[in-house]
Amino acid sequence: MPEDYSELLQAQLSGKNYQKLMQLPNPKLHRFIAEAIELCTPDSVFICTDAAEDVEYIRKKAVESGEETPLATEGHTVHFDGYHDQARDRANTRYLAPPAMELGTNLNTIDKEEGLAEIRNYLKGIMAGRQMLVCFFCLGPAGSVFSVLGVQITDSFYVAHSDDLLYRSGFEQFKALVDSEEFFRVLHSAGELKNGVSAQVDKRRIYIDINDNIVYSVNTQYAGNTVGFKKLSLRLAIRKAEREGWLAEHMLVMGAHGPGGRTTYFTGAFPSFCGKTSTAMIPGETIVGDDIAYLRKKNDQVFAANVESGIFGIAADVNPDDDPITWNAITTPGEVIFSNVLIADEVPYWLGDGREHPGQGTNYSGQWCRGKKDDQGNEIPPAHKNARYTIRLSVLGNLDQHANDPEGVPVGGIIYGGRDSDTWVPVQQSFDWAHGIVTMGASLESETTAATLGRAGVRTFQPMSNLDFVSIPLGRYVQNHLDFVKDLQHPPFIFAVNYFIKGEDGRYLTGMNDKRVWIKWMELRVHDDVGVVRTPTGFIPNYQDLKRLFKEVLNTDYTPQTYTGHFMLRIPENLKKLDRMEHIYRTQVSGTPQILFELLAGQRKRLLEAQRKHGSYVPPEKF
Ligand code: SPV
Ligand code: MN
């Protein structure tokens, strides 16, 4: 390949598209595009600038190509992914690992040469007869210390359209990136399509070149596998963050509104399907972001920025009662892409939407009617559990006024929460940063859900809710968190929440809306406005404070019995959790920091002491 790619690009691009690209005089960018053209051999190439007409072209083509279908409400479309392409494909998402690279035992890797050869083979000539789209984005607010630029190449108008809703435009930003090599690159092809969906799912591969900051994705459409700036680039960002001393996290960012008109910002890490988006959307509070955050330090404080500018959210359980703001955003005119919902008479339906579902329509299985079975004889539900909606954050009335602030927002607290039916109390605060990182963040577990392929309901290890995306040895990732605040006088407070704790009868102990109270309590804690009860696992709320907050926020009477049920310390379950963590960090994680074991041992000692004094199940009034 020649060093100067302009000749090749000039030959392959129409005059107009060539001129657009030449506004970005970055040799590395030119090379990436030229090599992608040589490999994928598209019929034509479309360079998407930030201009409204270019974005409109993508939107229009998404419908014309059949990847999206317009719905009754203006601006709404639906996209279907293949029956077996409904979630992130963990098994086929791999890091391309050069032989000498130390990646630890937790990462799914493939030898770089072998992986590249395989994926290049799949990509060879794959865009023949199609148009290649080249789109530019800025991760994080524009013109800020957080900004990371990225280019996505794809042959899917749906993917490019989703990108446009989810990320800030980056073409103008790229103009200044003349000789920098520091940007993320994504090359995606949906591959052969049958009835509009990727036909060769057995050849679905998502390979990540962590040295070169390139993501390859082929034979898939599901956005989690194809919209490269979501989790695929999060993996690149984690490595960049490690090099540069900041954190890239699977976190929401929100403003909680406290007394006297103050706003206290929180970030929150929850595995998929554990209430992350609904926490970011708590009525009365404001949203900065719902999925990926970059955290940096400045002036003795931690600041966070949302990497994205839209939401690829789970439709299930969005209904007027449980999530009125999202409900409103996705049922009124405006740009919304639904995916894998049920469509009947051009109206989308999803699980838990609070409506009567029609008995037939179109869903991810094609023509659907109630009782339809899959190959295994299982009944196909009206909509997939992982059906999604994609919107811009700017359509939300609760968007925080600092959502696009180049400075980010100052972080008062960090929340960790998983799907846990029997161990953690609904809300607690760690004793300090290290205790929170170790016993809450690094010890996060979750019962599996529908967001990834595989069996649901199994307890899995989900440190910082980021395990799927950690691209460095896990021990080092935990160490980076411990080190992050070393030079800070007042690091953010750390909290753990659990929206899924159940009673003996197997019923949830907390209501859907109780998180509205927990966030208010955490907000007050950040300012030391309420006291606490000290338990072996952390600080929990006082009954009187919760009684007042439940009345103020939800207008309900919070009884002492409910409080006891919520905050009963379950010592055997907590001890078992410590066993699991010690085992995992000793036997499955390389380079675990010693302090992790020390802090787990301290927690065990406190729990055993409490057990000796008070028995296995300790009501909060004993502490
Ligand atoms: C998640 O599953 O955590 C998501 C959606 O946010 S995905 O893009 O698939 O990662
Ligand atoms: Mn996510």
Domains of the chain, start order: 3-67+89-245 (3.40.449.10), 248-310+401-622 (3.90.228.20), 312-395 (2.170.8.10)
Helix or strand run (H / E) with residue 612: helix 594-614
Q: What letter does residue 440 receive in the DSSP assignment?
A: I
Distance of alpha carbon 438 from alpha carbon 600, whole angstroms: 7
Q: Please check whether residue 63 is in contact with residue 69, taking contact to mean a CB–CB distance below 8 angstroms.
A: yes
What lines the ligand 1 site, CB under 6 Å? 88, 223-224, 230-231, 272, 291, 312, 451
Active site residue 48: no
Sign of torsion, CA 10 13 14 15? negative
CA 87 to ligand 1: nearest atom: 9
Distance of alpha carbon 70 from alpha carbon 287, whole angstroms: 28
Using the mean position of ligand 2's atoms as its centre, give its distance from the Cα of residue 271 in Å.
7
Residue of 92, 249, 250, 312 to mutate, ligand 1, most atoms within 8 A of C-beta: 312
Residue with tokens 């970055």: 26
* Cα dihedral value 504, 564, 271, 251, nearest 10: 170
Q: Please check whether residue 568 is in contact with residue 619, taking contact to mean a CB–CB distance below 8 angstroms.
A: yes
Distance of alpha carbon 19 from alpha carbon 9, whole angstroms: 10
Using the mean position of ligand 1's atoms as its centre, give its distance from the Cα of residue 488 in Å.
32
Q: Catalytic residue among 48, 135, 138, 274, which?
A: 274
Using the mean position of ligand 1's atoms as its centre, give its distance from the Cα of residue 224 in Å.
5
Identity of residue 455: R
pLDDT given for residue 181 in this prediction: 86
Q: Please check whether residue 267 is in contact with residue 303, taking contact to mean a CB–CB distance below 8 angstroms.
A: no
Of 308, 316, 314, 274, whose CA–CA distance to 291 is shortest? 308
CB count in 10 Å sphere of residue 607? 23
Enumerate residue ranges in the chain where pLDDT < 70.
Answer: 1-3, 449-456
Residue of 79, 226, 231, 384 to mutate, ligand 1, most atoms within 8 A of C-beta: 231
Q: Please check whether residue 382 is in contact with residue 363, taking contact to mean a CB–CB distance below 8 angstroms.
A: yes
**CB neighbour class for 80 (10 Å; exposed up to 12, middle 13-18, buried from 19):** buried
CA angle 459, 462, 465 (to 5 degrees): 135
Neighbours of ion ligand 2 (CB under 5 A): 291
Distance of alpha carbon 390 from alpha carbon 533, whole angstroms: 42
Distance of alpha carbon 206 from alpha carbon 186, whole angstroms: 10
Exposure letters 242-256 (e unless 16+ CB within 10 A, then b):
beeebbbbbbbbbbb
pLDDT given for residue 453 in this prediction: 57
Structure tokens at 224: 């989690």
pLDDT given for residue 90 in this prediction: 92
Of 149, 139, 234, whose CA–CA distance to 184 is shortest? 149
Using the mean position of ligand 2's atoms as its centre, give its distance from the Cα of residue 465 in Å.
9
* Length of the chain as a residue count: 623
Q: Please check whether residue 403 is in contact with residue 306, taking contact to mean a CB–CB distance below 8 angstroms.
A: yes
Which ligand is closest to the CA of 223, given by its number? 1
Residue of 162, 206, 272 to mutate, ligand 1, most atoms within 8 A of C-beta: 272
Q: Going by CA atoms, what residue is nearest to atom 9 of ligand 1?
A: 224
**CB neighbour class for 215 (10 Å; exposed up to 12, middle 13-18, buried from 19):** buried
CA 225 to ligand 1: nearest atom: 9
Dump strand ranges (E) for 462-602: 493-497, 532-535, 538-541, 569-570
Q: Please check whether residue 109 is in contact with residue 274, taking contact to mean a CB–CB distance below 8 angstroms.
A: no
Q: State the chain's maximal CA–CA distance in angstroms.
A: 80
Identity of residue 194: K
pLDDT given for residue 103 in this prediction: 78
Q: Going by CA atoms, what residue is nearest to atom 8 of ligand 1?
A: 224
pLDDT given for residue 1 in this prediction: 47
Distance of alpha carbon 581 from alpha carbon 575, whole angstroms: 10
CB count in 10 Å sphere of residue 593? 21
Using the mean position of ligand 1's atoms as its centre, give its distance from the Cα of residue 346 in Å.
26
Using the mean position of ligand 2's atoms as its centre, give its distance from the Cα of residue 274 in Å.
10
